[in-house]
Amino acid sequence: MNPTIDLLNNHRSIRTFKEQAVSQEIINTLVTSGQAAATSSFIQACTVIQVENPQKREKLAEYAGNQKYVQSAPVFLVFCADMNRHEIACNMHNEQMKSGFTEQFITATVDCALFAQNVAIAAESLDLGVVYIGGIRNKISDVCDLLDLPKLVYPVFGMCIGYPDQEPEIKPRLPLPIVLKKDSYSNIQDSELLADYDKAIRDYYLSRSGGNKDMSWSEQIAGMLVKEARPHMLDFLQERGYLLK
């Protein structure tokens, strides 16, 4: 349809990268592109940590579930929801910030996600590949200690960036009628559409894995959502000063 839409629809997670370095100039450009994303009430609540120290990279890879590309990717960024600087801004005007509101958690986290997606799109426009790393939340307190994150700052996810050394297939997304609904929410056709989608995903996994992974989307989701999902997160976020009211 146009190059921008083609780029968006060609997204794939890249986990194998060439050894070719990514210049600091390009990294700066990517982060500047992230800053251009929409931000709620101009709050600008995202901070990016560029992690270069090999020992820290090794620990982050371990914390993320031994995802080796966290250690080996040319660039690894950690995107943090950050309300710390806003407390500083209030202090500059002798005002006490009222923190801990759930709305502040939502706006800071959404700001971070929008920022990161701009970075991802900008990277792909320069023929770089990316993969998000939510696994750093497995041991999120350890990540905070490793990166010296103050209160009111928490790491939302990481991102590996580099020049791709693989060409994976594009993973099929849910059928549009499931995602795009008009005037009201109706799931009358969703089960039927999901059955067709399950077949497409099963074929995708069989192709990608050389026949070693035989699973549908609904099977994957059912297997995942019957387990606890990082139950440490609520206590952690409250300790950081979020979700208190």
161-211 residue pLDDT tens: 999 999 999 999 999 999 999 999 988 889 999 999 999 999 999 988 888
Both 205 and 133 in one domain: the answer is no
Q: Does the pLDDT value for residue 119 go beyond 90?
A: yes
State in Å, rounded, how far the first CA of the chain is from the last one: 46
Domain count, the chain: 2
Query: Is residue 152, in this structure, part of any structural domain at all?
Result: yes
210 and 141: one domain?
A: no
Nearest to 154 by CA among 118, 117, 119, 112: 112
Residues 119 and 31 in one domain: yes
pLDDT at 167: 93
Q: pTM of the full predicted structure?
A: 0.95
Output the pLDDT for position 117: 98
Average pLDDT in the chain: 96
Instruction: Decide if pLDDT at 87 tops 90.
Output: yes
CATH number of the CATH domain containing 106:
3.40.109.10
List Cβ neighbours of 193 (8 Å cut-off, separation of 6 or more): 175, 177, 178
pLDDT at 207: 87
222 domain residue, yes or no: no
The neighbouring-strand residues paired with 75 are: 161
Q: Do residues 206 and 139 share a domain?
A: no
Residue 113 included in any domain: yes
Closest to 122 measured CA to CA, from 30, 215, 3, 1:
30
Average pLDDT, integer, range 112-132: 98
Range of the domain at 143: 3-168+229-239
Asked if 73 and 191 sit in the same domain, the reply is no
Higher pLDDT, 208 or 46: 46
Q: Is residue 198 part of a domain?
A: yes
Whole-angstrom Cα distance, residue 79 to residue 28?
A: 14
The answer to whether residues 95 and 183 belong to one domain is no
Residue 100 lies in a domain: yes
Answer yes or no: do 35 and 115 share one domain.
yes
The pLDDT value given to residue 208: 85
The per-residue b/e assignment along 112-134, b for 16 or more CB within 10 angstroms, e otherwise, is bbbbbbbbbbbbbeeebbbbbbe
The string of pLDDT tens digits covering residues 48-86 is 999 999 999 999 999 999 999 999 999 999 999 999 999
Do 17 and 53 share a domain, yes or no? Answer: yes
Contact 214, 206 (CB under 8 A): yes
Q: Is residue 157 a part of any domain in this protein?
A: yes
Claim to verify: residue 162 and residue 199 sit in the same structural domain: no
Residues 140 and 206 in one domain: no
125 and 201: one domain? no
Compute the distance between CA of residue 67 and CA of residue 32 in angstroms, rounded to an integer. Answer: 27
136 and 206 belong to one structural domain:
no
| The pLDDT of residue 241 is above 90 | yes
Summarize pLDDT for 221-232 with one digit per residue, the tens.
Answer: 999 999 999 999
Q: Which residues contact 126 (CB under 8 A, 6 or more apart)?
A: 26
pLDDT more than 70, % of the chain: 100
- Does some domain include residue 223? no
In a domain, residue 109? The reply is: yes
Give the tens place of pLDDT for each residue, 131-153: 999 999 999 999 999 999 999 99
| Pairwise CA distance, residues 7 & 176, whole Å | 19
pLDDT for 1 equals 83
Share of the chain above pLDDT 90, in %: 95
Q: Which of 113, 133, 126, 128 is nearest to 57 (CA)?
A: 133
Burial annotation 224-235 (CB, 10 A radius, 16+ → b, else e): eeeeeeeeeeee
**Has residue 217 got a pLDDT over 90?**
yes
